[in-house]
Chain A
């Protein structure tokens, strides 16, 4: 009885468990509307499409839990896709070197974000907003306004293809495997010393610093991880959807929403990376539900906005309750 009650509290109590409950509810509605969605093929297609956002959410989680924002990821995803198309220019042989260049570029952008935020003490909101502008302008300046070149077939494999003829599942997309690998790496990383220092930093950076934690180093590393996640997401999105100037636009807000939906607190120090990734899945499931219900595309932002506010308000209400008793407001 006690256990059942605490399990119910974990699911409904806001914070981490709630996002899984929400995800289950959305899937239940999708199932009621269209039972065919849960056949292996369409489920795999859904996961393939959701993978980039889930990976981005894992990267953004590191930054948010350490007490910062990364608004530059959308622009970075767009930049990576454009860079890939321009440098590869349809030649198969260049695929691997160019992916190497993209990874370096993602790391460099994350490093600059991190160093400007920690060494120059610029608020991360402003740092990454500036980076968004710089990336947006620089990429269009470089390509003369519209993306040029094209991706090679092998570059598009991770985003498009998969392992064929798996029993029961049919095609298992590479994107899903990459997503699982990234998720496992993120979960592992949060269990290491680095992860614990990261959470301590987000919770109270002064206390963490006085306890001997390298606050600036872990925060910079978090930005680098976010840059890496944007690179991987860029490779998947480029493969899946191809090249256009609009790739990644507005994605920073979607991904931050996903992380917050997962019960991760803006300002840092609270939340699980699994929940952040589940938040991204929830957002994608919501988009799928909109499709199933044939909701007019123009109305979707409204429903999305209302659900986000309601979910976060619900989580905040429950979280505040026990805190009301103690004298230390968080």
Chain B
């Protein structure tokens, strides 16, 4: 089991290396250098925001759930952070606490609606996202709040060529890997995603597990929102228009986590995020039309998932499936 999971993750890192090599070659042919400091910084900077969102998304997808509200939560969190801090360095801890509290509560609401309300996660989190969108549109007509300079460091400082935000993201990823591999709740998440009925009959409190996943996912989105606030220097409701949630889902699935739940992990997700970031940087350096970028991204995501699907078919074929089809989401 463990070795199988490792080999899937290994495959994704091989894919990342391949994308790096191909991208490097393409840029070199074009007369540039993908591995120059500026480009490396660009690449790593791109990983942090999607990374935060995708790490949280991995947890909910493992539980066979989904979170379409993370973009809205991130936008709301950037406003909560910026207005709570309000330019005073002393308020930074308070701002962080407020963001984690607000985003955690939203996650709890998501989880409760999914678990107790038996609402399909697609609809539940889309609905919660719409509720937040309405609040943001009504309350905030423009940027609000002021982020003190010291907290803006989170968005801009870097050690050598590695941005601080990327280091924080990698620490969070390490915590996520540890959480899934070594804690009871982490193991429960795989069980719930694999087959929720079997998990419940085995004595797992499935509601509690799913709610935990949603709370953690929303808190990750809260951290992403703080990063947005640190980068812009203010809170911005407009952030949700960027469809971050779809990016996060794409990165998670690209990282080998099965959309049906029960298989995958944070290590793969980090590679998925990195693949998307490398592609974006390559497109940027080669000055590919931004619209062509969307076309290429879409194609690459489908192609990559098609490749993983080949492997997963073999594996699921070996497992007996009890009413596996037709339950929950496709």
| Distance in angstroms between the alpha carbons of A133 and B292 in the assembled complex | 10
Assembly CA distance A269 to B124 (angstroms): 20
B 281-300 binary contact with A (CB < 8 Å = 1; else 0): 00000000101111111110
User: Closest B-chain residue to A319, C-beta based?
Assistant: B118
Q: Which of A42-50, A156-164, A169-177, A253-261 contacts B (4 or more CB under 8 A)?
A: A253-261
Whether A309 pairs with B119 at a CB distance below 8 angstroms is: yes
Cα A320 to Cα B197 with chains together (Å): 14
Which residues of chain A are within 8 angstroms of B179 by Cβ–Cβ distance?
Answer: none
Q: Which of A141, A205, A302, A305 contacts B126 (CB 8 A)?
A: A305
Q: Please give, as numbers and ranges, the residues of chain B lying within 8 Å of A108 by CB-CB distance.
A: none
Residue of A nearest to B297 (CB): A133
* Cα–Cα, bound, A184→B297 (Å): 39
B-binding segment of A26-34, A93-101, A124-132: A124-132
Instruction: Evaluate whether A129 and B246 lie within 8 angstroms (CB atoms) in the complex, with A137-B291, A316-B118 already known.
Output: yes
Q: Give complex CA distance A120, B298 in Å.
A: 15
Residues of B within 8 A of A328 (CB): 323
User: Closest B-chain residue to A250, C-beta based?
Assistant: B243
Which secondary structure dominates chain B's binding surface?
A: helix
Q: How far is the CA of A312 from the CA of B197 in the complex (A)?
A: 21
Return the CB mask of A96-138 against B: 1 if under 8 Å, else 0: 0000000000000000000010001111111101111110111
Say yes or no: is A12 at the interface (Cβ < 8 Å to chain B).
Answer: no
Contact at B124–A309, with CB atoms within 8 Å? Answer: yes
Please determine whether B302 and A304 come into contact, CB atoms closer than 8 angstroms.
no
A59 to chain B, nearest CB (A): 17
Bound Cα distance A205, B316 (Å): 15
- With the chains together, A306 CA to B133 CA distance in Å? 12
A196 at the B interface (CB under 8 A): no
A24 — which chain B residues lie within 8 A by C-beta?
none
Q: Does A69 interact with chain B (Cβ within 8 Å)?
A: yes
Within 8 A of B (CB), among A281-330: 296-306, 308-309, 312-313, 316-317, 320, 328-330
Chain B 113-140 per-residue mask, 1 if CB under 8 angstroms from chain A, else 0:
1000111101110111111111101100
Chain A 67-86 near chain B by CB (<8 Å), digits 1 or 0: 11100000000000000000
Contact B134 A309 (CB under 8 A): no
Q: A67-B325, A121-B313, A313-B119 are in contact. Are A132 and B128 (CB under 8 A)?
A: no
B134's partner among A133, A141, A300 (CB-CB below 8 A) is A300
The answer to whether A301 and B137 touch across the interface, beta carbons within 8 angstroms, is yes
Report chain B residues within 8 Å CB of A306.
127, 131
21 A-B residue pairs with CB within 8 Å: A116-B302, A126-B250, A130-B297, A130-B302, A132-B298, A134-B294, A137-B291, A137-B292, A137-B296, A207-B325, A302-B130, A303-B134, A305-B127, A305-B133, A305-B134, A308-B123, A309-B123, A312-B117, A316-B117, A328-B323, A330-B326
Known contacts A130-B299, A302-B131, A309-B128, then 6 further A-B pairs from the complex at CB < 8 Å, ordered by chain A residue: A69-B330, A121-B313, A136-B291, A205-B325, A266-B123, A302-B133
What are the 3 closest A-B residue pairs judged by CB atoms, nearest first? Answer: A302-B134, A137-B294, A305-B130
